[in-house]
Amino acid sequence: MNLSTFRPIFRPYKKPPTTPKPRQPIRPAQQTPQHHPFSSTTRLQKRSKKSSGTDPRITNIRYHLSHPLTPRPLHFSRTRSLRHWTIHRAWLLFLRKRRAAEERELERQYMSMRSACEHLRLMDGNGNRVTEEEGGGQGPDPARLGAKGREVGRLYRSAMLKRGVWGSVPVEYGRLVTDFPAREGWNYAWSAR
């Protein structure tokens, strides 16, 4: 017969009794004094020589985390489980539509940036459009010059420089978007000096 059925759910953790080991010589590395040892044990408990083995706080946490009243499994009726399934499917559909919409929005913004950059790349000093051969490089080698030389795509090359772009991200971006606005509202009184 399995006796574990009758055991209480919670038992204080105790090590199995072991034969006392011969005392090991203390190595020099352990003799270095530690003024702030890393330990969560209270000073008083540490001082008392007869340690019970287990921290009572750990006992407490273990006791409360294993609640005897574990929720029983959900048993839905036929219609109720069908309803639950429908709700779940509708939620997945909703998520998919929203994600697709977000992706489309990102794509629109990206294509807008891309076409602006293409116009910059194929634009000479007078703002005229040049042909692909006369324009410079794109993508990984924006610094490559085309047949017409430096005058074509000057603004494009300066826009592609990445040096210092992340140097000045303002600290205000650390503010999270909250459910309710700030009490004082928008800071109109900000001044540069």
Partner 1 sequence: MNAGRQTTRRLAPRTGPSSICRSCRDTISRTYASAAAAAVRTEDQIAQHIPPVAQVSPSTSYAVNTGVVLSRPPQITRDLHPFEAAFFLYQRRLNERLALPFTRYFYFKKRTPADVEWKRKMRQRLTPARDIGRYKGYGEEAWNDELLVGADESNFEHQVGKLLEDAEQSGLEGAADTTGATKVDHEPVDKPMPRVTEADRQHDTKSLNRALQRTLYLLVKNKDGQWQFPQDRLKEENLHGAAKRIITHTGGVNMNTWLVGRVPIGHHQLDYPEPRPSGNLQEHGAKTFFMKARIMAGQVNLKENQLDLQDFKWLAKEELKNEVEGSYWRSVKNMLAER
Rounded CA-CA distance 151/135 in Å is 10
The CB-of-96 to partner 1 minimum distance in angstroms stands at 13
Q: What 8-state DSSP symbol labels residue 146?
A: B
Q: Least distance from C-beta 60 to partner 1, angstroms?
A: 7
Residues touching partner 1, count (CB under 8 A): 60
Window 107-136: contact mask with partner 1 (x via CB under 8 A): -xx-xxx-xxx-xx--xx-xxx--------
CB 18 within 8 A of CB 59: no
Residues of this chain, 164-193, that bind partner 1 according to CB under 8 A: 165, 168-170, 172, 177-183, 185-188, 190-193
Is the Cβ of residue 10 or residue 46 nearer to partner 1 in the bound state?
A: 10
Should residue 26 be labelled a site residue for partner 1 when binding is judged by CB under 8 A?
A: no
Give me Rg for the CA atoms of the chain. 35
Minimum distance of partner 1 from residue 158's CB (angstroms)? 4
Q: Which is nearer to partner 1, 50 or 193 (CB)?
A: 193
87 is a contact residue toward partner 1 (CB under 8 A): yes
Selected from 44, 69, 140, 141, the binder of partner 1 by CB under 8 A is 69
Q: Which two tokens stand for residue 69?
A: 């009243």
Q: How far apart are CA 159 and CA 48, in angstroms?
A: 69
Instruction: Tell me how far apart the alpha carbons of residues 169 and 66 are, in angstroms, rounded to a whole number.
Output: 47
Q: What is the 3-state secondary structure (H, E, C) of 35-54?
A: CCCCCCCCHHHHHCCCCCCC
Place of tokens 């294993």: 66
Residue 145 contacts partner 1 per CB under 8 A? no
Q: Categorise residue 149: left if φ over 0, alpha if ψ from -120 to 50, beta otherwise.
A: left
Q: What span, in angstroms and rounded, lies between the C-alpha atoms of 102 and 179?
A: 21
Under the rule (CB under 8 A), what is the footprint of partner 1? 60-61, 64-65, 67, 69-72, 74, 77, 80, 87, 90-91, 94, 101, 105, 108-109, 111-113, 115-117, 119-120, 123-124, 126-128, 148-149, 155, 158-161, 165, 168-170, 172, 177-183, 185-188, 190-193
